[in-house]
């Protein structure tokens, strides 16, 4: 009887393993990184071209070990995947075509809170048949996050200000990174919850204690000209400021904790009133 039960358990485990996807293709920057963190050796066969862009990706070196795709249905189909990972806003044409071809496509929404990150790690683990690995990764993330969420007596006000005068409120991943790092958000003070353009005049009137902008890309663009405006330059010189690496802020992965840690010096300077 015991032997029969053992054989039955072994058969169940074997069947579950056989059902796990063996050829996984990711066509989205954020699913690229979640999959690279959790996939078994040889299970993930391709990631998107953005995964090897050092400005956007936090896992460039790992990504170079995979076939690169450009999220086109025909090239993804040619890789013979049994699971495709996509973002909520990935090419609808490609996702629709792949599904019509009978390929399983799972989509992930962009993370808008720290809670979304642990949930995404666990979901990715389930999809890859790596449930325990997903749970462990989520637990490690939550442990590190708790250590960074120290109680703060005062939150200096910081503004996120990007190309075109774009800013992000508290109901965004960047806004949550700011809060976790011990700041309050100028955008929230201005009534902005998501992402929206903040007129330069409004930024100056709020006079944030710290200014945070994205790293400029090579070349000159009209969208980035506002960041060189004299008013922005005065703010930048008169209070603590920083250029942040987009790759640590874009995706809901454990990499956001590096963004939180990177704001530590900026917060200290803001509290000290240093320029």
What's the confidence (pLDDT) of residue 149? 82
What's the confidence (pLDDT) of residue 226? 87
What's the confidence (pLDDT) of residue 8? 53
DSSP letters, the chain, are -HHHHHHHHHHHHHHHHHHS-SSEEE-SHHHHHHHHHHPPTTTEEEEEGGGG-TTT-S-HHHHTTSEEE-S-HHHHHHT--SEEEEETTS-HHHHHHHHHTT--EEEEPPP-SHHHHHHHHHHHHHHTT-HHHHHHHHHHHHHHHHHH----S---EEEE--GGGEEE-TTSHHHHHHHHTT-EEHHHHTT--SEEE--HHHHHHH--SEEEEEPPPSS--GGGGGGGSHHHHHHHHHS-EEEEPGGGTSSSSTTHHHHHHHTHHHHHHHHHT--
β-pairing, 166-168 vs 195-197, is: antiparallel
What's the confidence (pLDDT) of residue 220? 59
What's the confidence (pLDDT) of residue 212? 95
In what side-by-side order are the strands of the sheet with 105-108?
67-69, 44-48, 24-26, 83-87, 105-108
The average pLDDT across 133-155 equals 91
CB-based contacts of 53, cutoff 8 Å, min separation 6: 60
pLDDT tens-digit series, residues 200-255 = 999 999 999 999 998 766 555 778 888 889 999 999 999 999 988 889 999 999 99
CB-based contacts of 45, cutoff 8 Å, min separation 6: 23, 24, 25, 66, 67, 79, 81
**Domains detected in the chain:** 21-110 (3.40.50.1980), 157-272 (3.40.50.1980)
pLDDT tens-digit series, residues 98-114 = 999 999 999 999 999 99
Are the CB atoms for 138 and 274 separated by under 8 Å? no
pLDDT bracket for residue 133 (50, 70, 90) = very high
Of 3-12, 131-140, 213-222, 249-258, the least confident? 3-12
From residue 211, alpha-carbon distances to 220, 235, 247, 270 in Å are 21, 7, 19, 10
């Amino acid at each position: 009887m015991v032997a029969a039960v053992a054989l039955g358990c072994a058969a169940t485990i074997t069947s579950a393993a056989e059902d796990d996807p063996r050829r996984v293709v990711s066509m989205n920057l954020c699913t690229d990184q979640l999959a690279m963190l959790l996939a078994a050796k040889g299970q993930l066969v391709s990631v998107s071209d953005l995964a090897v862009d050092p400005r956007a990706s936090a896992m460039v070196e790992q990504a170079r070990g995979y076939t690169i795709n450009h999220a086109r249905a025909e090239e993804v189909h040619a890789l013979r995947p049994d699971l495709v990972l996509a973002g909520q806003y990935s090419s609808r044409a490609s996702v629709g075509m792949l599904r019509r071809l009978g390929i399983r496509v799972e989509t992930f929404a962009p993370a808008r809170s720290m809670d979304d990150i642990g949930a995404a790690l666990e979901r990715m683990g389930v999809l890859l048949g790596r449930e325990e690995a997903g749970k462990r990764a989520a637990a490690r993330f939550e442990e590190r996050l708790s250590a960074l969420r120290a109680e703060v007596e005062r939150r200096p006000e910081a503004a996120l200000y990007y190309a075109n005068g774009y800013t992000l409120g508290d109901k965004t991943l960047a806004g949550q990174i700011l809060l976790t790092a011990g700041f309050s958000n100028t955008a929230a003070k201005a009534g902005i919850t998501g992402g929206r353009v903040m007129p330069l005049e409004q930024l100056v009137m709020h006079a944030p204690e710290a200014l945070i902008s994205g790293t400029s890309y090579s070349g000159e663009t009209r969208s980035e000209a506002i960041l060189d405006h004299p008013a922005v330059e005065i703010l930048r010189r008169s209070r603590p400021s920083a250029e942040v690496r987009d790759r640590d802020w874009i995706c809901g992965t454990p990499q956001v904790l590096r963004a939180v840690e990177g704001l530590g010096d900026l917060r200290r300077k803001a509290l000290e009133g240093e320029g």
